[in-house]
Chains A and B, each alone.
Chain A
Amino acid sequence: MKHVFRIALLFCALPLLLAASGDNARYQTVGGKIMCMCSCDQMLLKCNHVGCPYSARMISQLKENLNKSSNDADVLNFFRREWGVTSVVEPSRHGFELLAWVLPFAGLGTGMVLVILVARKWKTQPAAGAKTEARLDPKLEELRQRARRETEL
């Protein structure tokens, strides 16, 4: 069981390791987080407007900043400063915006814990319907269960 747990843990950690090592597609990854400001509502690298007054300039700034800094967050912060916070379509990982990242997983985690706690409580306490079931004829109950099983109702 311990081995299974360790393997599962390694499996879960793999995305994090990969996220840190995926440098070869850095241009695509960082460019995919920046919005073209020509009001086309498309990502910078997906803007398909011929003669777009912004995309060429923004792409050259992107390339320049990627060469200048090895930190993606710095590149994105440059765009936030230069083009406004709406130009980056991913919340940052600090301050108030960190909340956007934390909330979904905190929700899932809290839900998991609650479900496990409730299930444990249910297991240790007799069911409310147990009294009712006790009054029933065991044969009838068996038939009822079987009917339910067979009809899936």
Chain B
Amino acid sequence: MPLLGSFCLLFALALAGYSFIAGIFGVARKDSAGFRLAETARRAGIVTFIAVTGAALALVWAALNNDFSLAYILEHTNRALPTPYKLAALWSGQEGSLLFWSWLLAGYGLVLRLRHKIDPRLFATTSTVLAGIQVFFLVLVTFVANPFGIMGSLPPDGNGLNPLLQYPEMVIHPPMLYLGYVGFSLPFSFALAALIMRYPGEKWIHITRRWTMVTWLFLTCGIALGAHWAYSVLGWGGYWGWDPVENASLLPWLSGTAFLHSVMMQEKRGMMKVWNVWLVFITFMLTILGTMLTRGGAVQSVHAFAQSAIGTWFYWFLGIIFVVCLTAYIKNRDHLKSENKLESLVSRESSFLFNNLVLLAACFAVLCGTLFPILSEAVRGYRITVGAPFFNKVMVPIGLFLIFLTGIGPLLAWRNTSLGSIKRNFMVPAALAFGLGVLLIFVGLKPWTDLPYFYAWLGFLLSGLVVTTIASEFIRGGLVLKTKLNTNLAAAMVHLTRRNMRRYGGYIVHVGVVLVIIGLCGAAFNQEKEQEMALGDKLQIGHYTLVGQEYTQDDNANYSSEAAILDVYKDGKPLVRLTPEKREFKASNQGTTMVANHSTLAEDLYVIYEGKNPDTGHPIIKAFVNPLVIWIWIGVLVVAFGTGIALVPNAAAVKAPVASAIAVVAMDNAMQPAGAGK
């Protein structure tokens, strides 16, 4: 099998190389011979997928059959490892994850190449760019980080999978994240191809936008699953630690989000063409930069792979990509001239512009913080640590400003918005948001006592503004359709959404983001308590009382464990029984915590079994009360739902029972914020 895997990799590399070179010549020649050559390149690209799949299956087969003659399988699995985690071995280490990356890239390429009839020339050029990226990853996986390296001797058992990765979410989280990361290769390839061939019109933007949305959704889900995994496994009571690898995933997410917004400017007004092209380029480069940082050992992280020579390859690849992008841009920049220009600073266009700016500033801030230790080492000779306190201080104000823009954006009209219309549209949402702020103070939130409280209060207030704005958009449109279609408001709003899935799907995404923000704001009110607990001892935290009922031990082939059985009372009434656990994995001699979490809409009771005090022999329990955390996960689900809605094509236009020009115009006006164009 290892031999088959190696052969498949070599075959895939040869095919991808052919697809790349034949693609270049095929696209360059504009005659029928060129077309035929491009067709062979496309087919080679399709077979590349089959070959890489063969290599990936060979590695999975080796993991499932405990083939410890392979160094990679020895390092990342053991006999007692449950089957799902053996499958996860494919992306658990450097070599396997690069093979997985290549396989996903080939998979995306397959979809692209099968859909070539949409626009054969554009797809042929895009397929060639993609083949170039594929060649790089296959070279890495074949010559630099080959997962099919053979051991000199045959050990009886493997070293096992990292205990932190032995959690159900880890079977889903990395593939999601990789789908997001690798997926950005497609918008990049489309953008570069369209620029190189001076593709006329905005069709490529339509195609790219869909790919970007799908990719963005995968990345969003991947990041959220990672946060949920950290919350459930790392046992420090939080979900986001601003670790360099977490930051690396956030960077393309931020620039991708900026692109999804600014692309609307190009579609609607033919503006920001240069900006959009560079946003796609930057997003792809950030995925490569993130990979380079963590795989090359440039930054230290709990996620990072061991330091290896692989970083140099990524430096070169990044450099080549930048040069190619810059050259393509310089040669074809006249093709990217804007059709229109900004007419007013108070318009929907400018709100998109500022939204992009703030998203990129956030991206820049995260990049600065992540790279600053490297910069410090280069300039001052020593490496400093930049952690959560820095990122929280910098990112929270930027994030709040972004939420504010999310709130006011839909209130502004395209082209120009009059001050009167702003006042009219802004008054109700602002008054409601302000009312919410006052209400929060009345129920006991004192924003003046501490900075985190102030930020949380402001976060709630701005969330209220965004929700009110979005609700007013739905209601205003719904009311117009209600009268027009003679139906109820709910049905009218559904109709409204179906009529413009992208716009209203986008609003639903914004609601999801607001829910996430509400969840994040809850962190300002976290409580924690640590206590040694003998049998029958009580731990009081918030409204909860934890009583130690029993302490147990267990042992299986993979790990031994200790657990505490705790009865939880809320305000004196029995609530639930929790069993936090600590596991010690045998193959790796590493331990991990299994958090016990009782989650409600209001708060999480999060309990960790830390182990036994060596002096007293009593277990140590750490409990957290984390308010509103569940809203983060609900928010992500809403974001996913909204993105799904936005991906669905619009339903046919509304057919009014009585079509009159006046009614249509009235409807148009109502769909736009009042004062549009004034």
Contacts and interface: CB of A to CB of B under 8 A. Distances in A.
A25 B612 CA distance: 29
Contact of A107 (B270, B354, B361, B386): B361
A67 B447 CA distance: 27
Interface in A73-104: 85-91, 96-97, 99-101, 103-104
B500 interface: yes
Interface residues of B, number: 72
A136 B551 CA distance: 81
Given A25-B450, A50-B612, A152-B503, A111 B357 contact: yes
A143 interface: no
B236 A42 contact: yes
Nearest to A25: B450
B342 interface: yes
A34 to B, nearest CB: 10
Interface in B303-351: 337-345, 350
A90 B391 CA distance: 9
Interface in B607-640: 608, 610-614, 620, 622
A41 B44 CA distance: 46
B364 A89 contact: no
Interface in A20-75: 22, 24-25, 32-33, 35, 41-43, 46, 48-51
Interface in B353-392: 353-354, 357-358, 360-361, 364-365, 368-369, 372, 376, 379-380, 382-390
B343 A104 contact: no
Contacts of B341: 122-123, 125, 127-129
Contact of A149 (B301, B620, B672): B672
Contacts of B455: 15
A107 B376 contact: no
B614 A50 contact: yes
B257 to A, nearest CB: 16
B235 interface: yes
B650 interface: yes
Given A41-B302, A122-B342, A91 B368 contact: no
Contact of B450 (A24, A89, A91): A24
A148 interface: yes
Given A19-B451, A107-B364, A152-B268, A116 B345 contact: yes
Contact of A96 (B350, B379, B612): B379
B642 interface: no
B339 A111 contact: no
Interface residues of A, number: 56
B593 interface: yes
B75 interface: no
B350 A97 contact: no
Given A33-B389, A103-B368, A104-B398, A152 B500 contact: yes
Contacts of A49: 610-611
A152 B502 CA distance: 8
Given A15-B455, A50-B613, A96-B380, 14 more contacts: A14-B448, A15-B451, A41-B243, A85-B384, A88-B384, A89-B388, A90-B389, A100-B369, A104-B364, A107-B361, A111-B357, A111-B361, A118-B342, A153-B267
Interface of A: 14-15, 18-19, 22, 24-25, 32-33, 35, 41-43, 46, 48-51, 85-91, 96-97, 99-101, 103-105, 107-108, 111-112, 115-116, 118-120, 122-123, 125, 127-129, 132, 146, 148-153
Interface of B: 206, 235-238, 243, 267-268, 270, 301-302, 337-345, 350, 353-354, 357-358, 360-361, 364-365, 368-369, 372, 376, 379-380, 382-390, 393-394, 397-398, 414, 448-451, 454-455, 500, 502-503, 593, 608, 610-614, 620, 622, 650, 653, 668, 671-672
24 contacts: A15-B454, A24-B449, A24-B450, A49-B611, A85-B384, A86-B383, A87-B385, A90-B390, A91-B390, A101-B390, A103-B364, A104-B394, A104-B398, A105-B394, A108-B364, A111-B361, A112-B357, A119-B345, A123-B344, A127-B339, A127-B340, A128-B338, A128-B339, A149-B668
